[in-house]
Structure 1
Amino acid sequence: MTEKTGKSLRKPSSSSEVDAFLKKVAAMPQIKPGSRHGRLIFAMDATASREPTWDRACHIQAQMFQETASLGGLEIQLCYYRGFKEFSASSWLRHSDALLKQMNTVACRGGYTQIEKALQHTQNETRKQKVNALVFVGDCMEEKMERLCHMAGELGILGVPAFVFQEGYDLVAERAFRQIAQLTQGAYCRFDAASAAQLRDLLNAVAVYATGGRAALENFSQRQGGVTLRLIHQIKKD
Structure 2
Amino acid sequence: MANEDGKAVGKAKETRPSEGAVRSKPGEIDRFLGAAKQLAPLATGQAGRLVFALDATISRQPTWDLACSLQGRMFEVADRTGGLAVQLVYFRGLAECRASGWIGEPRRLTGLMNGIACQGGQTQIGRVLTHIRDEERRVPIRAFVYVGDAMEEEVDRLCALAGELGLRGVRGFVFQEGFDPAASAAFAEIARLTGGAHARFDANAPNSLLELLRGAAAYASGGREALLRLAGNSPAAQGLLTAMEGRRS
Output aligned runs, 1:82-161, within 5 Å: 82-161=92-171
Output aligned runs, 1:53-92, within 5 Å: 53-92=63-102
Number of aligned pairs?
205
Question: Relative contact order, CA 8 A, sep 6+: which one is greater?
Answer: 1
Q: Which amino acid is 1:149 matched to?
A: C
Give the whole-Å Cα distance in 1 for the aligned partners of 2:118 and 2:227: 33
- Whether the 8 Å CA contact 2:203–2:209 is kept in 1: the answer is no
1:39 counterpart SS class:
strand
Q: Kindly indicate whether residue 57 of structure 2 is the aligned counterpart of residue 47 of structure 1.
A: yes
Q: Kindly indicate whether residue 189 of structure 2 is the aligned counterpart of residue 179 of structure 1.
A: yes
Give the whole-Å Cα distance in 2 for the aligned partners of 1:127 and 1:188: 24
Seen in structure 2, the aligned counterparts of structure 1 residues 157 and 80 have a Cα distance that, compared at 3 Å, is same
Q: Which amino acid is 1:205 matched to?
A: G
Q: 4+ residue runs of structure 1 moved beyond 6 angstroms? A: 230-235
- Whether the 8 Å CA contact 2:52–2:87 is kept in 1: the answer is yes
Give the whole-Å Cα distance in 2 for the aligned partners of 1:81 and 1:154: 21
Seen in structure 2, the aligned counterparts of structure 1 residues 116 and 36 have a Cα distance that, compared at 3 Å, is same
**Deviation, structure 1 residue 116:** 0.2
Q: Which amino acid is 1:53 matched to?
A: T
Give the whole-Å Cα distance in 1 for the aligned partners of 2:186 and 2:104: 31
Seen in structure 2, the aligned counterparts of structure 1 residues 74 and 44 have a Cα distance that, compared at 3 Å, is same
**Deviation, structure 1 residue 81:** 0.1
Q: If the length of structure 2 is used for normalisation, what is the TM-score? A: 0.74
**Deviation, structure 1 residue 231:** 6.8
1:91 counterpart SS class:
strand
Deviations 1:16-35 (A, max 9, x none): xxxxxxxxxxxxxxxxxxx7
**Deviation, structure 1 residue 208:** 1.5
**Deviation, structure 1 residue 227:** 3.4
Structure 2 unaligned spans of 5+:
1-16, 20-44
Give the whole-Å Cα distance in 2 for the aligned partners of 1:157 and 1:234: 18
Seen in structure 2, the aligned counterparts of structure 1 residues 164 and 215 have a Cα distance that, compared at 3 Å, is closer
Q: Which amino acid is 1:173 matched to?
A: A
**Deviation, structure 1 residue 220:** 3.9
Give the whole-Å Cα distance in 2 for the aligned partners of 1:234 and 1:155: 17
- Whether the 8 Å CA contact 1:74–1:211 is kept in 2: the answer is yes
Q: Which amino acid is 1:147 matched to?
A: R
2:3 alignment partner in structure 1: none
Give the whole-Å Cα distance in 1 for the aligned partners of 2:186 and 2:205: 22
Q: Which amino acid is 2:149 matched to?
A: D
**Deviation, structure 1 residue 70:** 3.4
Q: Kindly indicate whether residue 236 of structure 2 is the aligned counterpart of residue 227 of structure 1.
A: yes
Give the whole-Å Cα distance in 1 for the aligned partners of 2:239 and 2:50: 23
**Deviation, structure 1 residue 126:** 0.6
Structure 1 unaligned spans of 5+:
4-34
Give the whole-Å Cα distance in 1 for the aligned partners of 2:159 and 2:48: 26
Q: Which amino acid is 2:62 matched to?
A: P
Identity %: 47
Deviations 1:85-139 (A, max 9, x none): 1001010000000110110011000011000000000001111111000110000
Deviations 1:20-79 (A, max 9, x none): xxxxxxxxxxxxxxx721100011000001112211111221210122123321000000
1:38 alignment partner in structure 2: 48
- Whether the 8 Å CA contact 1:66–1:96 is kept in 2: the answer is no
